[in-house]
Structures are given as C-alpha cells and as structure tokens.
Amino acid sequence: MQFVLEPWHWFVLGIILILSELILPAFAALWFGIGAIMVGILYWMFPMMGLTTQLLTWIVLSVLCTLAWFKFIKPLSTDKTKAGLSREATIGQVGMVIQTNLDHGQVKVRFPLPVLGSDEWECRTLSPVQVGDRVRVVDILGNDLVVQPHSNN
C-alpha cells in the first residue's frame, strides 16, 4: 500500500504549522503553514502535481511568504511613537496647545504622535500662546519640553 498525498494533507499540515506558532517564539512556522495551505489549494486545482513538485512549491512559497513579511509587511508595523528617542528627534516636533494658565506659566500641548512616551505634555513656552495655537519643541530642560509658536514658513 502506497501513501498518496491529498490536498487535505497540505491543509492539515498548514493548520498544524500555523497553530504551532502559539508555542514557538520564532514567528517562522506561520509562513511555512501559509505555504502549505497554498500548496494544498494549488494541488486541489492541479491534481497532476507530483510529490517533488509539491515539495519544491511548498519550499518556494514558504520562502516567498517569509521574504514578503520582512520586506513589505513588517515595516508597516514599526512603532511610530517617539518614545525613547534622543533629544534631536524630539526637537522640532509640532503639537497643539490644548490648555493654558497651568502652574508656573506652563501650557498643555497635545502631539499627533507620542513624544517621549506621551502624547500630552505640560510645556514651558517662550512666548504667549492661546488654546489652539500650533507650537514646536525647541529645547528640553530637565523633564520639561520648551516650545515656541510654530510658523508655517
């Protein structure tokens, strides 16, 4: 009795590999599982595929899925916050004044992307500003951001 691979074998292998990703920390089995499911679909559509063709197709599709992950998908998931960045990356960030007349003449500024881990900061200002004004970070003094009105020029 000879063992014959059927399309459902590839589907089961793919599901097992994808579920093994819950246990394995490498994040590589997922792409091999997706490759196996794709081979199952191709084998179902083209039942004349031989075992060697199936295995080579699985290897190629798995490698292509892995490369696509690192080249196209993973860069989309990078952290867009400014948390942990240096002083130079923080200076120049533009935000909007949402509250004035705080203690010590400070203003509260909301930034579109978090700056140093927070999207709202109580800042020192170099000149008077109103609620709704856009301000730009020009310096960091201790734990305070120093801002000045932002000109669109």
Q: Is the pLDDT of residue 79 over 70?
A: no
CATH of 84-149, one of 1.20.120.850, 3.40.30.10, 2.40.50.140, 1.10.3720.10: 2.40.50.140
Question: Helix, strand, or coil here: 65?
Answer: helix
Say what the pLDDT of residue 62 is: 94
Beta strands in the chain (DSSP E): 94-99, 107-115, 118-125, 134-141, 144-149
130 or 89, higher pLDDT: 130
Over residues 1-35, the pLDDT tens digits come to 677 889 999 999 999 999 998 888 777 889 999 99
DSSP 8-class letter at 70: I
Over residues 82-116, the pLDDT tens digits come to 455 567 778 888 999 999 988 887 899 998 888 77
